[in-house]
Amino acid sequence: MSAPGGPGGSRVGIVVVSHSRALAEAAVGLAAEMLSGQAVRIAVAAGLDETTFGTDAVRIAAAVEEVDDGDGVVVLMDLGSALLSAEMALEMLADDVRERVVLSPAPLVEGLLVASVVAAGGADRAEVAAEARAALLAKDTHLDEAPVPEPGPAAGGHLTGTFVVANRHGLHARPAARLVGEVRRLDADVTVRNLTTGAGPVPAGSLSRVATLGALHGHEVEVAAVGREAREAVDRVLALAARSFDEAPDPAEEPAGTAPSAGPVAASPGIAIGPAAHLRAASVPVDERPAGPPEQEQRRLADALAAVRQDVARARDRTGPAQAGVFEAHLLLLDDDELTGAARAGIDAGTSAPGAWARAVAALESQWAALPDPYLRARAADVRAVGDQVLRALAGEAPDRGVDVDGVLVADDLTPVRAGALDPRRVLGVALAGGSPTSHAAILVRSLGIPAVVAAGSGLLDVPDGTPLVVDGTAGRLLVDPPAAVVEEYQARRRELAGEHARDAAEAPRDAVTRDGRRVEVGANVGSVADARAAAAAGADGVGLLRTEVLFLDRDRPPTAEEQEQEYRAVLDALAGRPVTIRTLDVGGDKPLRYWPQAAEANPFLGVRGVRLSLTRPDLLATQLAAVCRAARHGPVRLMFPMVTVVEEVLAVRRLLAEAAAPGPVPDGLRVGVMVEVPAVALNVEAFLPHVDFLSIGTNDLTQYTLAAERGHPALAALADPLDPAVLRLVAETASRAAGRASVSVCGEVAADPAALPVLVGLGVRELSVAPSAVAGVKAAVRRLDSGACAGLARRCLAAAGAAEVRALVRTASPDGP
Amino acid sequence: MGQVSTDDLLAWVRAFARLVAEHRDALTELDAAIGDADHGANMHRGTTAALAAVDGAVPASPGALAKKVGTTLVSTVGGASGPLYGTFFLRLGTALGDAATAAPADVAAALRAGVEGVVTRGRAEAGDKTMVDALAPAVAACEEALAAGRTWEEALAAAADAAAAGRDATTPLVARKGRASYLGERSAGHQDPGATSAALLLAAAAETLGGRGAGAPDSR
């Protein structure tokens, strides 16, 4: 025998800890069958006696001492007190013995079998423990579950390797067919998984399944193999990947390669199948006419500015108040003295209106683009967009709707104007190389009901016009030129979805109750009386968020209390007795008001906004609070304050509310709450609970502030995922601390995300507020849930390493998932 | 303010065992709602065995008695309460040392050590709906009372009252540790069985270590 602890010569003992002696002994019996006579020292510490369930630290310590031969002991446990007792047993052991004991988190039966076999082979205790821990992999693979997150590369005879897809168009049909052909010839079970998107694992021997990975250029893919030729399988796949799956190199391929994309990311649910249709930026007309007299050119410019102003205002009205801010910014540019003044000066100096305007725009654009602050730098795009619109108007062209395509729209990104102008009858789906699911463009596309994926990577832009595309905006997949069988699958799925939509809409007015009888209130986010009527018609249980900004924007003086009261009462009337949550004015440096000039801020999202801004003008807030109090005498109103950070703010607005209600008291039925958007509120929620009736989690901002990732930033779409465990923990903290003391709702975009719903319900959220168009679908999804199963899922999600793992857990858990 | 003797500790264990026996079914009912319905039976078995272990041959010191109670609970309770209450008494015993009697301040410090042991063992925090929710405020109340110059009897009574209040406050909480945490939100609305038995432990302490007299506070 080689020296103790030496390679291949260890004698590691095993202790089985269980509540049940019968269970432990049967597990040992199973393991013995695998050993065919080889000796392994195994001791059982299970049950208080033959029949009484329980664990005993003293017995566990004795069992360890019994099987320890100097090379250490691996302890396998069932659950609950088994862990506590085993930990306690460690403390009872002598120091030198304790140091060589490993408590294994492996599943008891699988772990014991593997550990016994490996220990019999003379492995040391670290190897035995690692093998035991990976014991679930075989089962996972067999059942096609996501693998355990931390299998070592050498774990359990399960070999893995990773490669980055170098093919310009991703793992499309041809390279996928090469992959399938290669692994089918080998005696090994091989699976592949898209590490970038979390899709899979799927069997590498199935062409249609490999296609569902959506592995695009730059995505990282993991190949895992078990079986006799596992090593060879992994090696061959990696070699094949290194040869770009034997695809002829594209002569146009950029030498340096493009940055790997983090997508595609689901942006608007549904399935679209159709030919790729590129959105080409309409070229700006060159006006060759010589300059007329300056007064004539000035008039041309003024007319063009007026026309574009009207056009932008129309776009704003069409898309609703939630996105009004973007258009407001464009309107402000059209009135910007620096820009228009420079253009007018140019005209006076003899330049034509288009020439002077183009020069003024270019100058301002380059100023913005040169700023060190990336947020402000990005605003240069706004300047260019507005500038081009005016140039088109000067040339007498129809204003750029920009979108004249049929099929699946392919573009780098969309401006809000273009997104809002999409025609769902012609644009079947949207696939963006950049963008983010929380960008204004994505929100607009979602409100139009067009399936979309974003952040698909710049490789997408090279897909030729007319190439068949499948956009799965629910799962976040983009298939380029998939095999006919896959297209048929998606067509069938799309037909199913259409039928589901019709059924969901018919059911929408009923309460949404989970299968185990938990009601989940599904309200709507609205910004106007028209929205409110749409919400009521869509079956919303109330208004979870009434945005009041539309009353305040684009006017010369603030609305009076009477005007506001009228608006709030009209919304109450539309909802016919269902509750309405009114959010006080939520603006900041990015949405300035004409009658309330604010200093420009380098980073408006971390600046004076929401309640912070309101508290600088208590008179304006008092007017709004007075209007809310009056409206509250006519129906169930909840009053909500945005961007709250500290308790003092709540106390201050509470004082203002009491004053605003005068001469009467604050109306009885008026419930007061705050939005949980700043992580500090979620972390310190105990301090807020005595002062609020409810908490409304605004996941858009909570995500942006927790992950320090600007929403809408194209490079951060995958980072700014509201299903990141860090965000979920804040939701969990808020919901659990508030349970029984204040109601908790979620009113961000995530509330309508099918992947998020079971997690939110599992975390204890019982009120959601979504876009009116999403109400029916969310209610239907609630009816398919079991709150207990959701709680289990949510707990696993809280322990996940990242958003991709959370999404994989949800996919695995949901019976009707993609 | 008198010293706490080995006999006082024996009386404590005896009173605890009696209260657990009286509340055995209530503890099991509470555990049936959110756990595996064995807390009453487990604690009854454990405290009966612990009392038997120290009643026949009384150990030489309060510390030795507490340690004996701890090791007996570890081996006889069966569920998670075994290592948790076992740890409590073992740490208590270690903190009391070998002295023949202990001053009230030393007993308070030993209680603190015991509770810290429970927190470390179970990795539970206040608000997780566990026995810590009764034990932690009890120890704090005891220390505060002594620091405020109140009598040992008053300090123990404050501890028992704080434990009972902590126990009651577990009802709306969502369990985050132990078997009840598997239920998630459904655990809200039920009083925690571990906090309930912990309140009995403190009631027994007030009854015996400080001479408060008979009777335990209502356990509902």
Q: How far apart are CA A341 and CA A722, in angstroms?
A: 43
Q: How far apart are CA A224 and CA A201, in angstroms?
A: 9
**Closest CB to B184 among A57, A58, A791:** A791
- Is B147 a member of any domain? yes
Q: pLDDT value at position A184?
A: 73
Contacts of A18 in chain B (CB under 8 A): none
**Could you tell me which chain B residue has the CA closest to the CA of A45?**
B75
**Chain B interface includes A54 (CB < 8 A):** yes
| pLDDT tens digits along A521-530 | 999 999 888 8
Q: Is A440 a known active-site residue?
A: yes
Considering only the C-alpha atoms of chain A, give the largest distance between any 2 of them, rounded to a whole number of Å. Answer: 106
Q: Is A400 exposed, middle or buried (CB count within 10 Å of its CB: 0-12, 13-18, 19+)?
A: buried
- Is B121 a member of any domain? yes
**Could you tell me which chain A residue has the CA closest to the CA of B124?**
A84
Q: Which residues of A129-166 are buried (b: 16+ CB within 10 A; e: fewer)?
A: bbbbbbbbbbebbeeebebbeebeeebbbbbbbebbbb
**Could you tell me which chain A residue has the CA closest to the CA of B119?**
A84
Instruction: Give yes or no for a contact between A707 and A727, defined as CB atoms under 8 angstroms apart.
Output: yes
| pLDDT tens digits along A201-247 | 888 876 656 766 778 888 889 899 888 888 888 888 888 888 788 76
Residue whose pair of structure tokens reads 């695809």 in the numeric block:
A247
Would the CB atoms of A740 and B172 count as touching at under 8 Å?
yes
Written as six digits, the tokens of A608 are 């004076």
Distance of CA A638 to the CA centre of its chain: 28
Which of A49, A55, A59 to mutate against chain B (most B CBs within 10 Å)?
A55
Contacts of A53 in chain B (CB under 8 A): 38, 78
- Collapsing DSSP to helix, strand or coil, A408 comes out as strand
Q: How far apart are CA B107 and CA B105, in angstroms?
A: 5
Which of B89, B174, B187 to mutate against chain A (most A CBs within 10 Å)?
B174
Would the CB atoms of B183 and A739 count as touching at under 8 Å?
no
Q: How far apart are CA A569 and CA A212, in angstroms?
A: 49
Please report which helix (H) or strand (E) contains residue A454, including its range.
Answer: strand A452-454
| pLDDT tens digits along A700-713 | 999 999 999 987 67
Written as six digits, the tokens of B201 are 């432990």
CATH code for position B68: 1.25.40.340
Residue A600 pLDDT more than 70? yes
Q: How far apart are CA B6 and CA B10, in angstroms?
A: 6
Q: To the nearest whole angstrom, how far is the Cα of A767 from the nearest Cα of chain B?
A: 15
Would the CB atoms of B79 and A59 count as touching at under 8 Å?
no
- Is B47 a member of any domain? yes
**Could you tell me which chain B residue has the CA closest to the CA of A48?**
B78
- Is B218 a member of any domain? no
Instruction: Give yes or no for a contact between A717 and A435, defined as CB atoms under 8 angstroms apart.
Output: yes
**Could you tell me which chain A residue has the CA closest to the CA of B174?**
A736
Q: Quick one: what percent of chain A has pLDDT higher than 90? A: 38
Query: Which amino acid does the sequence have at A800?
Result: A
Note which residues in 195-214 of chain A have CB less than 8 A from chain B.
none
Q: Starting at the edge strand that comes first in sequence, how are the strands of the sheet with A407-411 ordered?
A: A265-268, A452-454, A427-432, A407-411, A271-278, A468-472, A477-480
List the single range of A151-160, A554-563, A764-773, B96-105 with lowest mean pLDDT. A151-160
Planar angle of CA A796, A802, A805, nearest 5 degrees: 60
Q: pLDDT value at position A738?
A: 94
Q: pLDDT value at position A318?
A: 64
- Is B220 a member of any domain? no
Which carries the bigger pLDDT value, residue A2 or residue A135?
Answer: A135
Would the CB atoms of B75 and A59 count as touching at under 8 Å?
yes
Would the CB atoms of A56 and B75 count as touching at under 8 Å?
yes
Residue A153 pLDDT more than 50? no
Q: State the DSSP code for A524.
A: E
Q: Is A747 a known active-site residue?
A: yes
Among residues A602, A609, A616, A604, the alpha carbon closest in space to that of A583 is found at A609
The number of domains in chain B is: 1
Contacts of A741 in chain B (CB under 8 A): 172
Would the CB atoms of B80 and A84 count as touching at under 8 Å?
yes
Which carries the bigger pLDDT value, residue A121 or residue B9?
Answer: B9
Written as six digits, the tokens of A282 are 């309409």
**Closest CB to B121 among A48, A84, A788:** A84
Q: How far apart are CA A207 and CA A176, in angstroms?
A: 7
Q: Which domains are seen in chain A, by residue range?
A: 13-133 (3.40.50.510), 155-246 (3.30.1340.10), 265-281+401-492 (3.50.30.10), 294-394 (1.10.274.10), 511-813 (3.20.20.60)
Which of B42, B179, B185, B186 to mutate against chain A (most A CBs within 10 Å)?
B185
Contacts of B186 in chain A (CB under 8 A): 787-788, 791
- Is B28 a member of any domain? yes
- Is B217 a member of any domain? no
- Count helices and strands (H / E) in chain A: 33, 23
pLDDT band at B178 (very low <50, low <70, confident <90, very high): confident
Contacts of B185 in chain A (CB under 8 A): 739, 764, 787, 791
Q: How far apart are CA A685 and CA A693, in angstroms?
A: 12
**Chain B interface includes A787 (CB < 8 A):** yes
The catalytic residue among A172, A278, A747, A790 is A747
Q: Do the strands A220-226 and A159-164 form a parallel or antiparallel pair, or are they unpaired? A: antiparallel
Would the CB atoms of A736 and B83 count as touching at under 8 Å?
no
Find the DSSP H helices in A93-220: 95-99, 108-120, 125-133, 136-143, 173-184, 207-211
Q: To the nearest whole angstrom, how far is the Cα of A572 from the nearest Cα of chain B?
A: 32
What mean pLDDT, rounded, does chain B reach?
Answer: 90
**Closest CB to A54 among B77, B86, B181:** B77
Q: Is B21 exposed, middle or buried (CB count within 10 Å of its CB: 0-12, 13-18, 19+)?
A: middle
Q: Do the strands A13-18 and A73-77 form a parallel or antiparallel pair, or are they unpaired? A: parallel
Q: pLDDT value at position A285?
A: 62
Please report which helix (H) or strand (E) contains residue A400, including its range.
Answer: none
Q: How far apart are CA B115 and CA A804, in angstroms?
A: 39
**Chain B interface includes A435 (CB < 8 A):** no
| pLDDT tens digits along A636-691 | 999 999 999 999 999 999 999 999 998 889 998 899 999 999 999 999 999 999 99
What are the E-state strand segments in A151-240? 159-164, 189-194, 202-203, 220-226
Instruction: Give yes or no for a contact between A170 and A461, defined as CB atoms under 8 angstroms apart.
Output: no
- Is B216 a member of any domain? no
Q: How far apart are CA A658 and CA A664, in angstroms?
A: 9
Write the DSSP string, A630-694. Answer: HHHTSS-EEEEESS--SHHHHHHHHHHHHHHHTTSPPPTT-EEEEEE-SHHHHHTHHHHGGG-SE
Would the CB atoms of B80 and A52 count as touching at under 8 Å?
no
Q: What is the mean pLDDT of residues A588-597?
A: 73
Q: pLDDT value at position A783?
A: 94
Written as six digits, the tokens of A681 are 């509120």
**Chain B interface includes A689 (CB < 8 A):** no
Q: What is chain A's percent helix, strand, coil content, to nearest 5?
A: 45, 15, 40
Find the DSSP H helices in A553-614: 561-575, 611-614
Q: pLDDT value at position A61?
A: 92
- Structural domain that includes position B140: 4-208
Q: How many CB pairs under 8 A join A and B?
A: 88
Residue whose pair of structure tokens reads 């019968």 in the numeric block:
A22
Q: pLDDT value at position A206?
A: 67
Write the DSSP string, B105-126. Answer: HHHHHHHHHHHHHHHHHHT--T
Q: pLDDT value at position A231?
A: 84
Would the CB atoms of A795 and B186 count as touching at under 8 Å?
no
Q: pLDDT value at position A332?
A: 76
Q: What is the mean pLDDT of residues A310-321?
A: 70
Q: Which residues face A132 on adjacent strands?
A: none
Sign for the pseudo-dihedral over CA of A483, A489, A494, A497: negative
Q: What is the mean pLDDT of residues A458-473?
A: 88
Q: pLDDT value at position B33?
A: 85
Would the CB atoms of A55 and B78 count as touching at under 8 Å?
yes
List the single range of A180-189, A404-413, A701-710 with lowest mean pLDDT. A180-189
Written as six digits, the tokens of B42 are 């487990």
The overall pTM is greater than 0.95? no
Q: Do the strands A407-411 and A220-226 form a parallel or antiparallel pair, or are they unpaired? A: unpaired
pLDDT band at A159 (very low <50, low <70, confident <90, very high): confident
List the single range of A199-213, A782-796, B24-38 with lowest mean pLDDT. A199-213
Planar angle of CA B152, B158, B160, nearest 5 degrees: 105
The catalytic residue among A440, A629, A713, A797 is A440
Q: How far apart are CA A216 and CA A254, in angstroms?
A: 16
List the single range of A266-270, A458-462, A637-641, B8-12 with lowest mean pLDDT. A458-462
Q: How far apart are CA A413 and CA A383, in angstroms?
A: 16
What mean pLDDT, rounded, does chain A reach?
Answer: 83
Which of B38, B48, B72, B74 to mutate against chain A (most A CBs within 10 Å)?
B74
**Could you tell me which chain A residue has the CA closest to the CA of B180?**
A80
- Collapsing DSSP to helix, strand or coil, A698 comes out as coil
Which carries the bigger pLDDT value, residue A244 or residue A733?
Answer: A733
Among residues A116, A153, A91, the alpha carbon closest in space to that of A16 is found at A116
pLDDT band at A288 (very low <50, low <70, confident <90, very high): low
